[in-house]
Amino acid sequence: MSPAEHVAAWLRQANRVLFITGAGLSAESGLPTYRGVGGLYEDAETPEGLSIEQALSGGMLRRDPALCWKYIAQIENACRGAMPNRAHELIAAFQERVETWVLTQNVDGFHGQAGSDHVIPIHGDIHELYCPSCGWEDWVHDYAELPMPPHCPRCRAIIRPRVVLFGEMLPPAAVGCLNQQLQQGFDLVFSVGTTSGFSYIAQPVLMAAAQGVPTVEINPGETPVSPHVRQRFSCGAVEALEAIWAAWR
């Protein structure tokens, strides 16, 4: 059997499937895959002489909101006009026949837009804004009409996107949901387009492999989980998922 046919056979036996996704998945929508929140920054320093980890940190948002918002807005601008690609659509389509969960590092919101019902956005969503002072919140399509830095329409405090900036903790609700789903267990785990550089991204794959659960990695380059997965596709997400979908259907 081909690699895609092997994965299709596992899918036919599965009741619950987990997709772990990263910047490489959205690359085929035209989004960059560099370093930084949302995978935007390739340079080591900003023009201000700061690392991007400093500029896009929770501390900087408190000390200098205008500077931090400058780089938050660049992330949103990179997402603006882009759409979910065929890989997002296929992941959503899998849920028609098997309970499908998505753990994503991406802040673009594409999985939800493509129709996935069970998404854990562990780093948040750039389109969700809220006020830490009074609790106001809203979902915005883009930042085109926002003044920089934007203020709360209710109390005039600085608002922020519901994303994890450098130096901040992961959202407790998302972590709780992930742990609950991992405790229930999965019959097949995919790692798609992520370097698996964070322990909470690599661990579900490593746990599944240790328990004998089939694991699949889709990534052109090797990652820390590559030696541990049962099946690996050294290509882009669309190419691999199209082949798996065709073999499964």
* Residues labelled catalytic: 123
Beta strand 118-121 pairing with 231-233: unpaired
- For residue 202, the surrounding DSSP H or E stretch is helix 199-210
Where would I find the beta strands (DSSP E) of the chain? Answer: 16-21, 99-104, 118-121, 124-130, 137-139, 160-163, 188-192, 215-218, 231-233
Pairwise CA distance, residues 6 & 249, whole Å:
13
With a CB cutoff of 8 Å and minimum separation 6, the contacts of 101 are 16, 17, 18, 19, 118, 119, 120, 181, 186
Exposed / middle / buried, residue 206 (Cβ in 10 Å: 0-12, 13-18, 19+):
middle
Q: Residue 192 forms beta bridges with which residues?
A: 21, 218
Radius of gyration of the chain (CA): 19
CB 131 within 8 A of CB 106: no
